[in-house]
Amino acid sequence: MTDRTTYVTLTGVRRRGWTDSMVRDLLGSPDVQGRDPRRWSLAPVRLYLLVRVETVERTAEFAAASLLSKARSVAAGVYAERRRAAVLSAIRAEPIEVPLLPGPELERRAVRHRHLLGGARGPGGGEAGDAPPGAEALARWQVSYLRHALSRYESLLDGLYGETGRGDAGRLLRRRLYEAIAAAYPALARECRRRIAVER
């Protein structure tokens, strides 16, 4: 059996500051490769001799690769922040066009949309056609329908990755959409404000 204290896993190598490309280019194939007997996994365990890892870490090639990796990471962060700022600016500047429908038509479409989403049960627990929904339920359904009708604006988020950037941009976009719905349909403003408050 292999003495695991003299080996380091791929995860351990990464913790030491290595990237996958550095492992591939500077270490090459693992010294030991096989299945982990302690747990079932399709991915093989890759072990590298610690002495070999430490030796490579003292070379000029490792130092150059490490500097290049850090520079790429910084450049990627700068690009991501620029992209995030550009998307936030685009969301702030984009005119939101809410479809203007007569009240009865909006109600009909909202109820149909609710039914298509699987909300076939009415507010009293019966079938949707048994009794008309209450005013609050109908307002929720109308805002949901209008929000769905504006889903094309989600394309403004394309190209944003990562929890922070996409989350901020998504919240800003949803707030702008709800504000536009409230401006177009003042009777729905209360429900729109409620949704904006929930999102914060």
What CA–CA distance (Å, rounded) separates 137 from 111?
10
- pLDDT tens-place string over residues 53-98: 999 999 999 999 999 988 988 888 888 788 888 888 889 999 999 9
- pLDDT tens-place string over residues 178-191: 999 999 999 999 99
Spans in the chain with pLDDT lower than 50: 1-2, 122-130
- The residues, ordered by sequence, that sit 6+ positions from 145 with a Cβ below 8 Å of its Cβ are 106, 109, 110, 113, 114
DSSP 128: T
How many CB atoms within 10 Å of residue 190? Answer: 13
Short-list 128, 125, 131, 126, CA closest to 117: 128
Specify the pLDDT at position 127: 45
